């Protein structure tokens, strides 16, 4: 995964930046979790920093995490807001982040994790969630991109995995077309909260 991202870093980050977060995250917004002043957001797998920049501009306090230091460098250069905290860290461990967050954004990342890592991630994410906070996971449906080491994800799997946690499903979006206009990709988003 990392090699494929590094090889195409500039092209991919430019591509992701074309997306409009208001459209991409309309489900999150429609459920009342729009970024705003005093909202703490953790963006894991932040990629180009598009969503970290968006949320910060709307007043949220953002911690943006990615597994790749090179990705974080590009993100920080594109979104130089000094209030964004950029951290190189990895799901499922996320060992360098502390605190509690109102929104934990996992956008376009779940398909990169092995099932066992997804399971462990849910347990870790629960510890980073504020009392009334939400974990927002987007599921990439359709054929996985093997070059970028993607695996299949499903709502059914998520249902099974949260059984071992103190989390529950708050809401599920309908299946949406890809907002970056890829024909073979569709998305479904899930909001999780504490039981």
Ligand X SMILES: C[S@@+](CC[C@H](N)C(=O)[O-])C[C@H]1O[C@@H](n2cnc3c(N)ncnc32)[C@H](O)[C@@H]1O
DSSP per-residue string spanning 106-125: E-S-GGGS-HHHHHHHHHHH
Whole-number Å distance between alpha carbons of 129 and 66: 18
Closest CB to ligand X among 124 and 132?
A: 124
d(CA 88, CA 79): 16
Stretch that binds ligand X, among 61-69, 122-130, 152-160, 163-171 (CB under 6 A): 61-69
Q: Which residue has the tokens 């002043």?
A: 37
Which listed range, 39-47, 96-104, 151-159, 182-190, lies at the site for ligand X (CB under 6 A)?
39-47
Q: State how far the Cα of 184 lies from the Cα of 144, in Å rounded to an integer.
A: 9
User: Of 41, 108, 141, 173, which one interacts with ligand X (CB under 6 A)?
Assistant: 108
Q: Which of 53, 55, 62, 66 binds ligand X (CB under 6 A)?
A: 66
- Our finding on whether 33 is near ligand X (CB under 6 A) is no
Contact status, residue 38 vs residue 61, Cβ threshold 8 Å: yes
**Part of the chain binding ligand X (CB under 6 A), chosen from 33-41, 43-51, 128-136, 182-190:** 43-51
| Residue 122 binds to ligand X (criterion: CB under 6 A) | no
Helix (H) or strand (E) holding 6: helix 2-7
137 secondary structure, DSSP code? E
74 belongs to the binding site for ligand X (CB under 6 A)? no
User: Residue numbers of the site for ligand X (CB under 6 A)?
Assistant: 1, 5, 16, 44-47, 50, 66-68, 71, 90-91, 107-109, 112-113
């Amino acid at each position: 995964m990392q090699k494929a991202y590094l090889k195409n870093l500039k092209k991919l980050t430019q591509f992701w930046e074309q997306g409009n977060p208001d459209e991409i995250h309309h489900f999150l917004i429609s459920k009342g979790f729009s970024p705003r002043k005093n909202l703490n957001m953790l963006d894991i797998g932040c990629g180009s920093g598009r969503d970290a920049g968006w949320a910060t501009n709307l007043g949220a306090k953002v911690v943006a995490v990615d597994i790749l230091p090179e990705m974080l460098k590009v993100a920080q250069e594109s979104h130089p807001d000094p209030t964004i905290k950029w951290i190189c860290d990895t799901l499922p461990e996320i060992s360098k982040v502390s605190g509690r967050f109102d929104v934990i954004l996992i956008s376009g990342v779940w398909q990169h994790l092995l099932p066992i890592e997804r399971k462990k991630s849910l347990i870790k994410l629960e510890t980073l969630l504020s009392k009334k906070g939400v974990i927002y996971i987007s599921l990439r449906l359709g054929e996985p991109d093997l070059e970028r080491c993607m695996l299949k994800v499903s709502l059914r799997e998520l249902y099974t995995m949260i059984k071992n946690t103190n989390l529950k499903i708050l809401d599920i979006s309908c299946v949406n077309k890809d907002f970056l206009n890829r024909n073979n990709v569709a998305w479904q988003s899930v909001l999780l909260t504490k039981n």
